[in-house]
Amino acid sequence: MVTVRPLRDDEMRLYLEIHERAIRGLAASHYSQDDIEGWVVPATDENLRRLLLNADREIRFVAELDGAPVGIGALVLEKPELRAVYVAPEGARRGCGSALVHAIERTARDNAVTRLRLHASLNAERFYAALGYEVLERAEVVLPNGHSMAVVRMGKVLGRT
């Protein structure tokens, strides 16, 4: 059974661990090692402090599969942007990612957001398309290590539920 709940302040290390496991476990077939290394955010004290500071005011979620945390998600209302959905390999294709997206969309609608945008990784494009997101353009983002990584900008008009 999949449940989604808010991320607690004491779970920032868990957030980064799931982020890393998802990238290393699910994106390696679509990206180079340089991409992967630039994309992963190490769980250093500085990165944990920055995540806790939450300058973009992300609303963060955790997906649990049978009580075990396996996914994370984030929404930035001011952009409005679906900032992140990452699921560790053991939770992949078991409804965790979809549950996170639905929770993010519900929160967005509850805050009068009518359209969400996101940057999808190449390996996640089909996942988002299946949930109604449309490709806006193909682009590249510059990672902290200076390496450019291919992404797909996508968007969705949120309907009522």
- Domain membership flag for residue 17: yes
DSSP calls for 91-132? GTTTTHHHHHHHHHHHHHHHTT--EEEEEE-GGGHHHHHHTT
Give the CATH number of the domain where residue 86 resides: 3.40.630.30
Q: How many CA within 13 A on the CB side of residue 148?
A: 4
Q: For the CA atoms of the chain, what is the radius of gyration?
A: 15
**What backbone phi and psi angles, to 5 degrees, belong to 144?**
-55, -25
Tens of pLDDT, residue by residue over 40-57, are 999 999 999 999 999 999
- Domain membership flag for residue 135: no
Domain count within the chain: 1
Tens of pLDDT, residue by residue over 77-110, are 999 999 999 999 999 999 999 999 999 999 999 9
pTM exceeds cut of 0.85: yes
- Domain membership flag for residue 125: no
